[in-house]
Amino acid sequence: AQTVTQSQPEMSVQEAETVTLSCTYDTSENNYYLFWYKQPPSRQMILVIRQEAYKQQNATENRFSVNFQKAAKSFSLKISDSQLGDTAMYFCAFNTGTASKLTFGTGTRLQVTL
Amino acid sequence: DTGVSQNPRHKITKRGQNVTFRCDPISEHNRLYWYRQTLGQGPEFLTYFQNEAQLEKSRLLSDRFSAERPKGSFSTLEIQRTEQGDSAMYLCASNPETHNSPLHFGNGTRLTVT
């Protein structure tokens, strides 16, 4: 079975600080894609960042970066210079096929405070 | 790009009634997905279409559930004889056929079965 585990149900960070959200996954596949999605309160889910498992270089998107450890099956998200607009549920997900049948974790609720 | 549109936003129904939700994907996207998200959980894959063909259904999709995409554009998800356990947010997403292109999610339809 393919599973995604997010062990931090809630986290809080002060504005302008850095926070890291953890994610581990389990799959027997060798080729897969990993994603972090953001779901703001009462708003639609949007993609934050993605990583192809065959790429060793960690993905970055502006203030968002990942630490991908394939052997450990770990995929953490680092948010630098946190902003109030980063307040949201963050979901880690992965996909092994060509279609986007994602397996999601249970999410981490991030609160950015002044 | 008007985004993925879902209607209605909210639906309250009594147990045993039938309900139907609609999803309008981004017009140039030929793949359309349905996910279900219960409280405190991440989204779970239900089914997906490529054009008008329904290519895969999750075991979560019992025989009370049926999805269609008759002309390869909008899709409907019908739940017959609703049960309280069907209460959830039903999310629709779309993307082009390009390998693992990002999913674009709608705002979802929140179903409450009383």
Q: What is the pLDDT of residues B70-113, one digit of tens each?
A: 988 999 999 999 999 999 999 999 999 887 788 999 999 999 99
Residues of chain A with C-beta less than 8 angstroms from the C-beta of B48: 99-101
Residues of chain B with C-beta less than 8 angstroms from the C-beta of A35: 102
Q: Could A101 and B56 be called an inter-chain contact, meaning their C-beta atoms sit closer than 8 Å?
A: yes
Nearest residue to A48 (alpha-carbon basis) of A33, A66, A32: A66
**With an 8 Å Cβ cutoff, is A105 touching chain B?**
yes
**With an 8 Å Cβ cutoff, is A91 touching chain B?**
yes
pLDDT score at A64: 98
Could you report the per-residue pLDDT of B2-12, keeping only the tens digit for each?
A: 799 999 999 99
**With an 8 Å Cβ cutoff, is A109 touching chain B?**
no
pLDDT score at B25: 97
Residues of chain A with C-beta less than 8 angstroms from the C-beta of B35: 102
**With an 8 Å Cβ cutoff, is A107 touching chain B?**
yes
Q: Which residues contact A98 (CB under 8 A, 6 or more apart)?
A: B99, B100
Q: Which residues contact B63 (CB under 8 A, 6 or more apart)?
A: none
Q: Could B4 and A44 be called an inter-chain contact, meaning their C-beta atoms sit closer than 8 Å?
A: yes
Tokens 């045993």 sit on residue: B16
A with B: how many residue pairs have Cβ under 8 Å apart?
57
Residue type, B81: R
pLDDT at A23 over 90: yes
pLDDT score at A26: 94
Alpha-carbon span B75 to B66, nearest angstrom: 11
pLDDT score at B1: 55
Radius of gyration of chain A (CA): 14
Contact A95, A33 (CB under 8 A): yes
Contact B82, B13 (CB under 8 A): yes
